[in-house]
Structure 1
Amino acid sequence: MIDLVQSHLVAILVPCVGHKNTNSMAKFYDKATGITALVAEIRQRAVEKDEMAKAVVSHGEPFAYSGWTFVGRKSHITPLQALDVLGNSIGMTPPEMVFGENQLLLLHEASGVCISFMAVEALSCCHFKAGSDAQQLKVTMARVQSATSAYVDDNPSFLSSHVVSDEVKELEISYDWTYTSDYKGTLARVDDHGVANTTADAVRVVTTTERIDFEKLKVREDILWMEDVSLYEDELHDHGVSIYSRVMPSGFYVLARYWMRLDNVVVRLNETRIHHVFGKDFLLREYTAKEVTFDTLFAAGHPNHMSNYTNIDTFQHLVPTKSSHFEKIYLH
């Protein structure tokens, strides 16, 4: 696993060389502009076609069903010059692999209510909230005075005698260096001209006691459309955000997941689930934040080798929930 602390320090101390920005890249970094641009593309394609596809469609093509339009955009890793622009726009050093042009968008045509997922918004949620008690994850690192490897090999006692007491490295930055994000998607309302309004009151959202019916989701149905979109991650897949969605005859389901595994330290799993039953005037959105230290897992008798924790799906049931939030998103 790549040392996240070390890689982040290097990224901060050795900033990217600035490059001239291009409009083609910058338009995806503003949430309102990004949604508006993708909606315009959807509608242009609709004009060019006699009708939208009514079954599984080719990758990247919009899919229309039951009054909704779904589209997933997938592209390459954001290049260096555009990554500079993205980082400056949100005030942070971005992670190793950002898919700045990737986007998932779900649009309710009658009301204009739109749900979008994009990298810049997910990363923006890594900033600590004002007034919160969130703190940087502190990782103890042994500080060793410099010495050549040959000298250490010849003098094994040198290493132990020159290790200074463990110190806690704490970065003085305003965002979580592990890129922990509580991103739940970007809500907007698209007007008749295709312009997205992303203000807080654009879409009505209320807290609810109603829950997603997972038994209903277990019923076997045809998958009419599906997409899996990555927003950002590291090279070894030890942290990142990905969005999975599927459309069935009865409705659609979205799972947005942030995961992070810091070897021998902690596991985090933040998940947003969205479910809509076609014909109803609302969607249900559920958010859960889970976390557990590896010391806790080991003490409970679970395997103590990191190879057992490479796939979050195989051990997520061991990670307890720290917080949860349940919402109803109205379509009127």
Structure 2
Amino acid sequence: MFAHLIAMTSHGFKSSQQDFTFGPWKVTAAKTHIMSSKDIEQLAEEMSMPALPEMLFGDNVLRIQHADGYGIEFNAIDALKRVNNMEDSLKVACAREWQDSRADSEHSQEVVKRYDWTYTTDYRGTLLGEDMKLQVTETLDRIDMEKLKAREQIMFFDEVLLFEDELHDHGVSMISVKIRVMPTSFFLLLRFFLRVDGVLIRTNDTRLYHEAGNNYMLREFSMRESRIDDLKHVPAAKYTKPNEISQHLTLKLTECEKLQFPPAEEKMGGAE
């Protein structure tokens, strides 16, 4: 097991890449500068969206890859591809409500365009591998969160921000991913967090867990959301703290999946 850090400085911004190897797995956490305005405009055009997040880290990535090539990674571009170009009824209702309360806002005119101005995404990661990929199936198995609370040595930890937008100072929309590796397991949390001031708070969480000895990872996706009017009992100071406010939001959806590793005979090309 080993880790190393590569640091580069460009235009006053320090880029970094951390690699950590444990067994057949390699974790890579790469962080670099925000995409240029020109690149963002080009990407927005490709995605048929009027605008993209103000702070878009297109080259940031957190990757977990097996020596055989398969694995999973988390990046901003694929997360944005899961943003809905068409507003659904909930988003339209919120946009109108928000628009009415911010009639003098520059951004209030933007929310009526046909795209999700909150950048809500249900992204759960990008599967890696050409000949071999993790096989995704539904499961009743759940991540043992109590087991994760046990004190265990953390051999590697990192957090990578993929994008963030302050909704013209009327809230925040952001997605980040963090991982911790213990001697016999790893746990990852990808969180999309949205707060539209005076309207609602939403989190979309993806949790990924692997325990040594198992030939699979468990992935849990959950959506939580509450309107601000329904959070009067919660101190407003918590509204800006995702970890604290998420516990008070209404659970809307939970989906559990097993990410099965390719079988041994496939990895060996059918050889005995």
Other-structure match for 1:331: 261
C-alpha distance after superposition, 1:234-263 (max 9, x if no partner): 256722000001111111111000001111
Q: Which of 23, 28, 32 is equivalent to 1:75?
A: 32
> 8 Å contact 1:260–1:269 — kept in the other structure?
yes
> 8 Å contact 1:272–1:287 — kept in the other structure?
yes
SS in 2 for 1:83: helix
Measured in 1, the distance between the counterparts of 2:195 and 2:159 equals 21
Other-structure match for 2:123: 183
Shift in alpha-carbon separation, 1:87–1:277, aligned structure 2, 3 A? same
Root mean square deviation of aligned Cα: 2.8
Measured in 1, the distance between the counterparts of 2:111 and 2:60 equals 32
Instruction: Give the Å deviation of 1:307.
Output: 3.8
Measured in 1, the distance between the counterparts of 2:172 and 2:200 equals 11
Normalized per residue, the structure richer in strand is 2
1:238 aligns with 2:168: no
> 8 Å contact 2:55–2:165 — kept in the other structure?
yes
Other-structure match for 1:215: 146
1:292 aligns with 2:226: yes
Q: Which has the larger radius of gyration?
A: 1
Superposition map of 1:1-332 within 5 A: 54-58=1-5, 60-92=17-49, 93-110=51-68, 112-127=69-84, 135-136=91-92, 137-140=94-97, 141-142=99-100, 171-173=112-114, 175-190=115-130, 202-235=133-166, 238-298=172-232, 301-303=233-235, 306-332=236-262
Measured in 2, the distance between the counterparts of 1:230 and 1:189 equals 24
SS in 1 for 2:158: strand
Measured in 1, the distance between the counterparts of 2:110 and 2:42 equals 28
> 8 Å contact 1:245–1:254 — kept in the other structure?
yes
SS in 1 for 2:229: helix
SS in 2 for 1:85: helix
Shift in alpha-carbon separation, 1:129–1:285, aligned structure 2, 3 A? farther
Shift in alpha-carbon separation, 1:145–1:183, aligned structure 2, 3 A? closer
C-alpha distance after superposition, 1:209-255 (max 9, x if no partner): 00001122112222121210000002567220000011111111110
Shift in alpha-carbon separation, 1:116–1:225, aligned structure 2, 3 A? same
Q: Which amino acid aligns with 1:241?
A: I
SS in 2 for 1:57: strand
SS in 2 for 1:116: strand
Measured in 2, the distance between the counterparts of 1:180 and 1:243 equals 15
Instruction: Give the Å deviation of 1:56.
Output: 4.7
SS in 2 for 1:238: strand
Measured in 1, the distance between the counterparts of 2:216 and 2:86 equals 28
Measured in 2, the distance between the counterparts of 1:145 and 1:223 equals 49
Measured in 2, the distance between the counterparts of 1:223 and 1:168 equals 47
How many residues align? The count is: 243
C-alpha distance after superposition, 1:49-74 (max 9, x if no partner): xxxxx245335132211210110110
Measured in 1, the distance between the counterparts of 2:213 and 2:148 equals 16
Tell which deviates more after alignment, 182-191 or 259-268. 182-191
Other-structure match for 1:160: none
Q: Which amino acid aligns with 1:71?
A: T
SS in 1 for 2:146: helix
Measured in 2, the distance between the counterparts of 1:286 and 1:234 equals 25
Measured in 1, the distance between the counterparts of 2:149 and 2:187 equals 11
Unaligned runs of 5+ in 1: 1-53, 147-166, 192-196
Measured in 2, the distance between the counterparts of 1:142 and 1:133 equals 17
Measured in 1, the distance between the counterparts of 2:100 and 2:80 equals 30
Other-structure match for 1:36: none
Scaled by the length of structure 1, the TM-score of the pair is 0.67
Q: Which amino acid aligns with 1:245?
A: I
SS in 2 for 1:232: strand
